Structure 1
Amino acid sequence: MKNNIQSENIRLIAGHKDLLIAALNGNSELAQSLGVVVPDQWSEFGEVVLKYALEEINKEPSQNGWWMWFPVLKECNLLIGSCGYKGKPVEGIVEIGYEVIPSQRRRGYATEIASALIHNAFNHKNVHTVQAHTLAEENASTKVLKKCGLNWTEELEDEEDGTIWKWAISRDELKAPSLFNLEL
């Protein structure tokens, strides 16, 4: 898997082992390792996600690129959140997740990030479906997923989040080569 995905406004940098360790060591080390500006509160997910991704990559290095990615706004070289996959594809299905810092929301960046992740996943022949989960209500994330072509598939009960909605898009349903200019 590539280490970078370029879209129109955003560069996604794969969270390989060294970057995850840097992120766990603090914002200044992450900023130095990425070569970008890192805001104080760049992720609402916290260290748990970073530690879990690092554990999984340590167990199976081939999973690099199937966990955390760092979205950087090109125009100001600013880390604007986190995103990625919830592990390598299982039976051809991969799940995406994303977040954008509050100061950069409502500018289309979440849609651009999600689109880049979807198209990157479909560049792998063993991926036939990309899915995501949201809270069970219309919100910004449901709008992002709809813009990216995902369809609501079912309502589920999650131990941590309660009732959630599952969204998915298959390789065949993906209509356009990309919503954005991607270099994969």
Structure 2
Amino acid sequence: MATVETEHLRLIPCNSEILKAAIKGNDSIAQKLGVTIQDNWTEFGVGALQYSLDKLTENEDEKDWWTYFPIHKKDNRLIGSGGYKGKPTSDGTVELGYEIAPAYRNKGLATEMTKGLIENAFKNSSVKTIIAHTLGFENPSTKVLLKCGFEKVEEINDPDDGLIWKWELRNKNGTTNQ
């Protein structure tokens, strides 16, 4: 599993052992990765980590297509989570998501992490399109996606979450869209 390097971040792909340590708690993941842990580093929570672990356990082909932990290089600190919602579909679509701890927001790090995930996904020749979903109004996540070249392509009325916007970024002729 290859770590994704950006200017300020090291995006560590989570295998089963890393996910189990994160589910166990901050002390466990800090020891496993040799980093400090930012307070409130995840809003997605243990449920999302367990879901990723279950998917990896079910299918080894899913490795590299779930959770990545962004480590702020200068601080050697876990500051969020992100990654993909599974391996590319048969038509070459992969979905990504991301979160940054409140203390590290508004510093361009969510955009940097997203660009790293985009570049990483498009290295796989089967990936043609990356999608993302946000709440259906302008917010910090929509700004990140716009900065990364995504276009809003659909509005969806979700029974649980209300209005959701679907975003898309196409891989043009095998090059990254950065």
Q: TM-score, structure 1 length as denominator?
A: 0.92
CA deviation after TM superposition for structure 1 residue 3, in Å: 2.8
Give secondary structure in 2 for the equivalent of 1:51: helix
Counterpart CA distance in 1 for 2:145 and 2:71 is 20
Q: Which residue of 2 aligns with 1:93?
A: 93
Kept in 1: contact 2:13–2:68 (CA 8 A): yes
Give secondary structure in 2 for the equivalent of 1:94: strand
Q: Which residue of 1 aligns with 2:154?
A: 154
For the aligned residue pairs, the C-alpha RMSD in angstroms reads: 1.5
Counterpart CA distance in 1 for 2:70 and 2:51 is 19
Instruction: Give CA deviations for 1:37-86 in whole Å, capped at 9, x if unaligned.
Output: 11232100111101110000000012111111000100010111010101
- The aligned amino acid for 1:145 is L
CA deviation after TM superposition for structure 1 residue 158, in Å: 2.1
* Higher normalized contact order (CA 8 Å, seq sep 6+, divided by chain length): 1
Q: 1:38 to 1:4 in 2, by over 3 A?
A: same
Counterpart CA distance in 1 for 2:43 and 2:144 is 18
Counterpart CA distance in 1 for 2:174 and 2:46 is 33
Counterpart CA distance in 2 for 1:174 and 1:142 is 25
Q: Which residue of 1 aligns with 2:103?
A: 103
Percent of residue pairs bearing the same amino acid type: 45
CA deviation after TM superposition for structure 1 residue 157, in Å: 1.9
Give the 5 Å matches for 1:1-184: 2-90=1-89, 91-172=91-172, 178=178
- Name structure 2 gaps, 5 residues minimum: none
Kept in 1: contact 2:119–2:176 (CA 8 A): no
Kept in 1: contact 2:150–2:168 (CA 8 A): yes
CA deviation after TM superposition for structure 1 residue 159, in Å: 3.2
Counterpart CA distance in 2 for 1:40 and 1:106 is 17
Kept in 1: contact 2:122–2:174 (CA 8 A): no
Counterpart CA distance in 1 for 2:176 and 2:130 is 15
- The aligned amino acid for 1:33 is K
Aligned length: 177
CA deviation after TM superposition for structure 1 residue 18, in Å: 0.4
